[in-house]
């Protein structure tokens, strides 16, 4: 993948320093040559947090870990009472993940602040760089934990959620060095954050198709996550006639196909639907499956269309269960509406990109990000960096250092404008 060169390719950031840090962090939890497994609140996650904390301090920030496992670095500004500018993303990964997802947003933000410090640029307000805890949600089946904790949006029962080994989130937080007892004394201060900016790989193929190294996000699709459990009756696979079976796996399979067909129904729409995890009981070759638990993930930037899909899928699950004599439950794990980026922040990004000789396209984000949660408490915007073949959540995930540097440079330039108290008017 050849990087598109900007007309004016002068970076203020130190691109090589940023690249070296990305590679150093990738060594923690490495699987194979290029893969990463750094699950939230794991020993590998803690080691990564400690490494990044050192870089924050090297950049001139004071750094701490809050009760929710978020790593927060603070670059002091002139006005301690002014709402802060927040930059960041996450460093936890999927179990079979890549080196760049989330990471470039945290390390790019540190690079932006370190460049400000090295250039003697004083901010009017504090700048906070955050590595949010458990954005991915793969370990405890509910993501954006750190961002939701910071903004006072945790739900009942979240600490009791257990991973596949039976470790609860409460236990994992304690092992990580956090004390959930501090939650009771924590309250989010409305208006404390002026704006949030997040640098992230696209995790899709649009920028590569357009031959653009970076893009500006217009909004984030609203995700709905379910855990569905269908229960039938176990029996001998060789002796129970097909007409008399209550096969939970057949019911699950029909729902999977139906979800795929619903998501494909409007080819021009950005609707997506996925069943990514299935657990079968008793899980034996010659026993009819009695119970199947599976996840459902569907998303759309248009709320009305997504809500219609949700209702149709519920009806299909009901119909399939009646047809096969199954009982079922649907647990809603996540439900967020689509969220659009602030116009004034997009204006700053477009203007600063033009100063770099770039004209990045606007594009929506199908994946959710920490920005999704932050959008409920402050204005937000995102910068996307092209990734090869759109591959992510996979060891083959790759973004060229030149493209990452352009994204980090744009983040730096936009942060400087906001830190100096300038608005979209320039």
Boundaries of every domain in the chain: 15-221+338-419, 222-335
**Separation CA 152–CA 408 (nearest Å):** 29
DSSP letter, residue 366: S
Q: Which pLDDT does position 134 carry in this prediction? A: 98
Q: Is 381 helix (H, G, I), strand (E, B) or coil?
A: strand
In three-state secondary structure terms, 315 is: helix
What burial letters (b/e) apply to 177-206, b meaning 16+ CB within 10 Å? ebebeebeeeeeeeeebebbbbbbbbbbeb
Q: What confidence score (pLDDT) does residue 423 get?
A: 59
Cα-to-chain-centroid distance, residue 318: 31
Q: What is the pLDDT of residue 222?
A: 85
Residues facing residue 236 across a β-bridge: 287
Fold category of 222-335 in CATH = Alpha-Beta Plaits (3.30.70)
CA distance 405 to 401: 6
Are the beta carbons of 273 and 260 closer than 8 angstroms? yes
The CA distance from 89 to 98, in Å, is: 15
101 marked among binding-site residues: yes
Judge whether 15-221+338-419 and 222-335 match in fold: no
Phi–psi pair at 191, nearest 5 degrees: 85, 0
Beta strands in 4-56 (DSSP E): 30-31, 35-36
Bond before 282 cis per omega within 30 degrees? yes
Question: Which ranges of the chain have pLDDT less than 50?
Answer: 1-8, 424-426
**Rounded Cα–Cα distance for residues 341 and 215 (Å):** 13
pLDDT value for 184: 85
Q: Is 90 a known ligand-binding residue?
A: yes
The sign of the CA dihedral 238, 241, 245, 251 is positive
DSSP strands (E only) in 305-419: 327-335, 339-340, 362-365, 379-385
Query: What pLDDT, in 10s, does the model give residues 319-370?
Result: 999 999 999 999 998 888 899 999 999 999 999 999 999 999 999 998 889 9
| CB-based burial, 345-366: b 16+ in 10 Å, e otherwise | bbbbbbebbeebebebeebbbb
Nearest to 300 by CA among 252, 264, 346: 264
Instruction: Name the residue among 349, 423, 425, 354 with its Cα closest to residue 381.
Output: 349
Q: How high is the pLDDT of residue 421?
A: 87
By DSSP bridging, strand 362-365 and strand 214-220 are: parallel
Q: What is the DSSP string of 107-167?
A: HHHHHHHHHHHHTTPPPSB-EEEEEES--S-TTTS---HHHHHHTT---TTGGG-B-TTS-
Whole-Å CA distances, 185 to 171, 180, 257, 377: 19, 10, 47, 20
CATH of domain 15-221+338-419: 3.40.630.10
Cα angle: 393, vertex 398, 403; to 5 degrees = 130
How far is Cα 203 from Cα 365, in angstroms, rounded to an integer?
Answer: 9
Instruction: Tell me 90's DSSP state.
Output: E
- 200 marked ligand binding residue: yes
Does 12 show up as a binding residue in the annotation? no
- The 8-class DSSP code of residue 333 comes to E
In sequence order, the 6+-apart residues with CB closer than 8 A to the CB of 98 are: 34, 35, 36, 391, 392, 393, 394, 395, 396, 397, 398
Angstrom distance (rounded) from CA 349 to CA 159: 38
| Residue 343, marked binder | no
Report the pLDDT value the prediction gives residue 9, as an integer from 0 to 100. 55
């Amino acid at each position: 993948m050849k990087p598109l060169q900007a007309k004016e390719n002068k970076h203020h950031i130190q691109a090589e320093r940023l690249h070296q840090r990305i590679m150093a962090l990738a060594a923690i939890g490495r699987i194979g040559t290029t893969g990463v497994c750094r699950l939230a609140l794991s020993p590998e996650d803690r080691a990564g947090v400690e490494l990044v904390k050192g870089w924050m301090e090297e950049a001139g920030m004071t750094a701490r870990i809050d009760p929710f496992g978020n790593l927060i670095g603070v670059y002091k500004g002139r006005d301690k009472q002014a709402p802060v500018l927040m930059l960041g993303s996450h460093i936890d990964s999927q179990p079979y993940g890549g080196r760049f997802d989330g990471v470039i947003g945290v390390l790019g933000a540190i690079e932006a602040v370190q460049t400000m410090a090295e250039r003697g640029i004083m901010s009017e307000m504090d700048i906070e760089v955050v590595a949010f805890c458990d954005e991915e949600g793969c370990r405890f089946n509910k993501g954006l934990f750190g961002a939701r904790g910071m903004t006072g949006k945790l739900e009942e029962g979240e600490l009791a959620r257990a991973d596949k080994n039976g470790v609860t989130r409460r236990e994992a937080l304690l092992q990580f060095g956090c004390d959930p007892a501090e939650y009771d004394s924590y309250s989010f201060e409305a208006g404390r954050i002026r704006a949030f900016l997040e640098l992230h790989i696209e995790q899709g193929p649009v920028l590569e198709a357009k031959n653009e190294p970076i893009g500006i996000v217009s909004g984030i699709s609203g995700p709905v996550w379910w855990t569905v459990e269908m229960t039938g009756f176990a029996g001998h696979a060789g002796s129970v006639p097909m007409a008399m079976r209550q096969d939970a796996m057949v019911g699950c399979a029909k729902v999977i196909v139906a979800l795929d067909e619903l998501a494909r129904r409007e080819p021009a729409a950005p609707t997506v639907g996925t069943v990514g995890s299935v657990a079968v009981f008793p899980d034996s070759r010659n026993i009819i499956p009695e119970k199947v638990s599976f996840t459902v993930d569907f998303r759309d930037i248009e709320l009305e269309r997504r809500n219609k899909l949700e209702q149709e899928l519920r009806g299909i699950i009901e119909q399939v269960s009646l047809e096969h004599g199954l009982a079922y439950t649907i647990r809603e794990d996540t439900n967020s509406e689509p969220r659009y980026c602030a116009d004034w922040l997009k204006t700053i990004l477009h203007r600063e990109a033009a100063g770099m000789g770039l004209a990045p396209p606007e594009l929506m984000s199908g994946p959710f990000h920490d920005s999704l949660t932050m959008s409920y408490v402050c204005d937000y915007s995102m910068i996307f960096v092209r990734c090869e073949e759109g591959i992510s959540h996979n060891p083959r995930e790759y973004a060229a250092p030149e493209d990452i540097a352009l994204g980090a440079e744009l983040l730096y330039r936009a942060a400087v404008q906001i830190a100096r108290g300038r608005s979209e008017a320039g």
